[in-house]
Structure 1
Amino acid sequence: MTPDELAALHGVCFTAHPRPWTALEFANLLNNPLNFLLTRPQAFLLGRTVAEEAELLTLAVAPQARRQGLALALLSEFAATAQARGATEGFLEVASDNAAAMALYSGTGWDIVGCRKGYYAPGTDAVVMRRVL
């Protein structure tokens, strides 16, 4: 997927918080060798590994393609890719009002380890989650 395609899909998936990322932001992220992009038709995951930690930066699945296992497949590939890059644990943050994402992550072994109060505008908390890889 190109930065423009990533930004278009991200824009459909994230309309409030976090705000959609631009094509330029995706291009800059993809130019960083610590970052990696995993894709499926109508879905993608962008991750980063630094030393023994991996961070799930964003996961987007087109609304019409949800509940078909794409996110599960990407999360599994994230874990495998991060491990291959030397990571032993993963982190992510998710908006506290995103019940579907919270359920997905909790159901795949991610545990809540923190909260960033008011991180997203307008005052929505970011829930920090961790998973042993």
Structure 2
Amino acid sequence: MILKSEVEKEKRIMRPICMAHVPLLALIDEKCFASDLCWSADLFRSVLETGGWGEFLMLAEMPIGFYLCRSVAGETEILTLGILPEFQGKGLGKYLMESLFKGAKSYKAEEIFLEVEESNFAARRLYQNSGFKILGRRADYYGKGRDAFVMGFRPVWPE
């Protein structure tokens, strides 16, 4: 088990995601999510080819998490975000979100939104603690009986 104090001692670095990282993205995604929610390498590739952007969270030069977004016309959508299970619950999600917000600011995002499974309480807490509010619900978004909350955040960027 990795302790939070050990994680805090390690150097955390964010690295931009590029096309060469697609196999690694798919591998980390597979470890972060249930098999029915995993993205394929082709889906990651398609998002990156059409303007998707994101970063890896590196700890001691090892990729332990990532986010992937798309920004269009003043809106940024968080498409997927994950941290390897053994590193969850150690405050790294907040670090990932802070970096994501910097990226969204560079795209001049007026609103950031996402879908999150209603039963994913840890992710919902991360998003709510980051300023997101529940805007609506998508019935059966993740499959029969598995609804998603649509969450949004309107940042006020400092000048």
Q: What TM-score bracket applies, with the shorter chain setting the length? A: over 0.9
Counterpart residue number, 1:61: 83
TM-score (norm 1): 0.92
Q: What is the CA deviation profile of residues 56-89 of structure 1, one whole-angstrom value per residue up to 9, with x for unaligned ones?
A: 0000100011122221111111111111111111
SS in 2 for 1:20: coil
Counterpart in 1 of 2:53? Answer: 36
| 1:5-33 deviation line (CA, Å, top 9, x unaligned) | 1111111111155x100111111111122
1:11 partnered with 2:64: no
In the alignment, structure 1 segments of 5+ residues that lack a partner are: none
Q: How many residues align?
A: 131
Q: Identify unmatched segments of 5+ residues in structure 2.
A: 1-16, 59-63
Between 68-77 and 121-130, the greater mean CA deviation after superposition:
68-77
Q: Partner of 1:29: helix, strand, or coil?
A: helix
1:23 to 31, 34, 41: 41
SS, match of residue 124 in structure 1:
coil
Higher-strand-fraction structure: 1
Amino acid paired to 1:47: C
Question: Pairwise CA RMSD of aligned residues?
Answer: 1.3
Select the structure of larger CA radius of gyration.
2
Equivalences for residues 1-133 of structure 1 within 5 A: 2-16=21-35, 19-33=37-51, 35-41=52-58, 42-133=64-155
Report deviation, 1:123: 1.9
**Cα separation, partners in 2 of 1:10 and 1:24, compared to 1, 3 Å:** same
For residues 75 and 120 of structure 1, what CA distance do their matches in structure 2 show? Answer: 23
CA displacement at 1:108 relative to structure 2: 1.2
- Aligned equivalents of 1:102 and 1:50: distance in 2? 24
Deviations 1:29-57 (A, max 9, x none): 11122x11111120000011101111000
Does structure 1 conserve the Cα–Cα contact (< 8 Å) formed by 2:138 and 2:149? yes
Any idea what the Cα deviations from partners look like across 1:109-132, whole Å, max 9, x if unmatched?
A: 000000001111132001000001
